[in-house]
Amino acid sequence: MKVAIISPLKHLKLSDLGGMHFCLAQRVLESEEYAEYYRSQEHKWVIMDNGAFEKGEPLETEKLLEAAKLASVDEIVVPDYPLKPKKTLNAISNFLASLSKNERDTYDFLVVPHGKSIAVLLENLKDIIGSCCYYNEIDSIGWSVIDLWKYQYRARPLAVFSTLSVESGMCFKHHLLGLDDARELLCYLSSSVRSVDTSLPISLAASGHQLSFKREPIGHNRVSLDKTLPQRKLRLSEENIKLLVYRALTFKEKYP
């Protein structure tokens, strides 16, 4: 599994320690430095979020595609509305229907189902696939930490969806949107989760904590993208990131 690190703007080099990248569309539009950093990542896959997590609703399609072009991203998180399955379904259908052939050929597309229970979330996912199969543009499924915030829960829809994928003949990549507990990675020992994005190693370091796979999560605040870290906490951030990246790549051997 590859890890994408979401870093404060003044410490974007911390993101170099991850195996791929995850950028925020609204920040791309606000900061040329931010856009240039991701535009320069020719050898790493770059996913771009749509702004819904931070703003409560996604950027308009025109702005989202403008940001994608500015940062030269590889994959776009299709517009979604957290915890609003029907509104998300409509947003995804409308977005994919509006794309030109060139836009379809240029980017991969990641859709995010929503629901306050696993049953509702999976029903939303099936509706999304059913309504969008004509466009054949869904490449990845994103599982949001907003919907399924307990680490022991988020593995369940993945197991169910694996069965659905086999039965339908469809195969998608899986991405975890957010990580609040490093131990969550242990849920995926036998799965094929491609990637995860998180600021957890930096948020922990900003509060003076080491990342751990063995203990309950320590209370901490999500680090602001405008945060400037002192050298001591920068070093701790690097240590935490390296540990998370290493475990994500090797946990099958470390945790049989």
pLDDT value of residue 215: 75
Highest mean pLDDT among 46-50, 216-220, 251-255: 46-50
* In a domain? residue 186: yes
Please give the pLDDT value at position 90: 95
Q: How many domains does the chain have?
A: 1
Task: Please tell me the predicted confidence (pLDDT) of residue 151.
Answer: 44
- Percentage of the residues of the chain whose pLDDT score is greater than 70: 85
Range of the domain at 86: 2-251
Residue 210 has pLDDT above 50, yes or no: yes
What's the average model confidence in pLDDT over 193-212?
Answer: 93
User: Residue 106 sits in a domain of what CATH number?
Assistant: 3.20.20.105
How far, in Å, CA of 154 to CA of 193, rounded? 12
What's the mean per-residue pLDDT of the chain? 86
What Rg, from alpha-carbon coordinates, does the chain have? 18
191 within some domain: yes
Tens of pLDDT, residues 80-111 = 998 899 999 999 999 999 999 999 999 999 99
The pTM score is 0.90
Here the tokens at position 242 are 């390296």
Judge whether residue 220 has pLDDT over 50. Answer: yes
Q: CA-to-CA distance for 152 and 189, rounded, in angstroms?
A: 13
Q: Which of 41-50, 133-142, 243-252 has the lowest mean pLDDT?
A: 133-142
pLDDT of 67:
98
Return the pLDDT at 9. Answer: 94
Q: For residue 71, tell me if it sits in a domain.
A: yes
Taking phi over 0 as left and psi of -120 to 50 as alpha, with beta for the rest, 56 belongs to left
Residue 252 has pLDDT above 60, yes or no: no
- What does the alpha-carbon distance between residue 142 and residue 156 come to, in Å, rounded to a whole number? 14
Q: Per-residue pLDDT averaged across 252-256, rounded?
A: 41
For residues 142 and 175, is the Cβ–Cβ distance under 8 A?
A: yes
Q: Between 31 and 217, whose confidence is greater?
A: 31
Euclidean distance between CA atoms 58 and 185, whole angstroms: 27
Best-predicted range by mean pLDDT among 122-126, 134-138, 226-230, 252-256? 226-230
Q: pLDDT tier at 203 (50, 70, 90 boundaries)?
A: very high
Is 111 part of a structural domain of the chain?
yes
- Inter-residue contact 94 to 106 (CB < 8 Å): no
pLDDT digits (tens, 9 = 90+) for 132-185: 765 578 899 998 888 765 544 555 566 665 655 554 455 788 898 998 888 877
100 lies in some domain: yes
Is 222 part of a structural domain of the chain? yes
> How far from 33 is each of 10, 28, 30, 231, CA to CA, in Å?
10, 8, 9, 22
> Distance between CA atoms of 58 and 111, rounded to whole angstroms?
13
The answer to whether position 94 is within a domain reads yes
Helices (H) and strands (E) in the chain, counts: 10, 8
Indicate whether 256 belongs to any domain: no
Task: State residue 253's pLDDT score.
Answer: 43
The mean pLDDT value for 108-136 works out to: 82
